[in-house]
Amino acid sequence: MNKKIYSEAFVSDLFNRMSSSYIRMNTVASFGFYPLWRKQAIKKVAINPGDAVTDLLTGAGECWPFILKKTGTSGKLIALDFSKGMLGEAQRRAKAYPEHHIQILEESVFNNTIPSHSQDVVICAYGLKTFTSTQIDAFAREIYRILKPGGQFSLVDVSLPKMKWLRALYLFYIVRVIPLLAFLFMADATVYKMLGIYSRNFKDIRSAGSLFTNAGLSVTYCNYFFGCATGIYGEKL
């Protein structure tokens, strides 16, 4: 495994370069499933009016509409990411929610200022695949640290389906077709090729499940669209 591609500096630069095209490309390339899987992942946890929710690796804030609808104006959303480019898109999105309390943090998920035991819910969509197993272990422990006792979490990421024919088709699509789509949409095909590499190396969330259990979190798995995405959710024990 090339450890360089998992460094925060490399991943941050990658997302900076794709920030202006990320939402458009992922919506087109996933045939609209990306936002649907976000919405379904958020439905796995109970978010109530007034809750404190953290969206780790928030990107351009695509999870916010589903979160803020539940927290209402009395809740608080912390949106954390280490990509300045993606957070620029998030800052523009925040203008659409002037009555909501949204705190945007440009920080590392592994070294951040979120207070311990302060969050009711933690959400993360499509960020795990850019982590090594060591980083996922640290990530799971960070979720445990910031959650209140009994607090909930829900994560989702793209995965490789178990069915061989679908797996082969899916790999061809993410490794070959998506970079071509990026080229046609005048995006940086190189960075979207990297997303295919991350997805192929990651496989699925289940392979990292024990790391969340070891961190002190209960774990339940779920599949989306025949395993093209997988989710993990649970609570702080």
Q: Report pLDDT digits (tens) over 93-136.
A: 999 999 999 999 999 999 999 999 999 999 999 999 999 999 99
Q: Output the six-digit token pair for 17.
A: 């370069």
Q: Which two tokens stand for residue 198?
A: 């991350």
CB count within 10 Å of CB 98 equals 8
- Check residue 122 and give its pLDDT: 98
Contact 88, 104 (CB under 8 A): no
Structure token digits, residue 22 = 């990320």
Nearest to 64 by CA among 101, 112, 25: 101
- For residue 52, what pLDDT is reported? 98
pTM for this prediction: 0.92
- Residue 149, phi then psi, degrees to nearest 5: -55, 130
Are 227 and 207 contacting, i.e. CB atoms less than 8 angstroms apart?
A: no
Report the C-alpha gap between 182 and 141 in whole angstroms: 35
Q: In this predicted structure, what is the pLDDT of residue 115?
A: 98
Contact between 236 and 217 (Cβ < 8 Å): yes
CATH number at residue 124: 3.40.50.150
Selection from 18-32, 53-67, 170-184 with the highest mean pLDDT: 53-67
How many whole angstroms separate alpha carbon 119 and alpha carbon 235? 12
Collapsed DSSP state (helix, strand, coil) of residue 222: strand
Cα Dmax for the chain? 48
Range of the domain at 120: 3-235
Instruction: Say how many C-beta atoms besides its own lie within 10 A of residue 185's C-beta.
Output: 14
For the chain, what is the domain count? 1
pLDDT greater than 70 at residue 186 = no
- Going by pLDDT thresholds of 50, 70 and 90, the confidence category of residue 29 is low
Of the two residues 71 and 166, the one the predictor is more confident about is 71
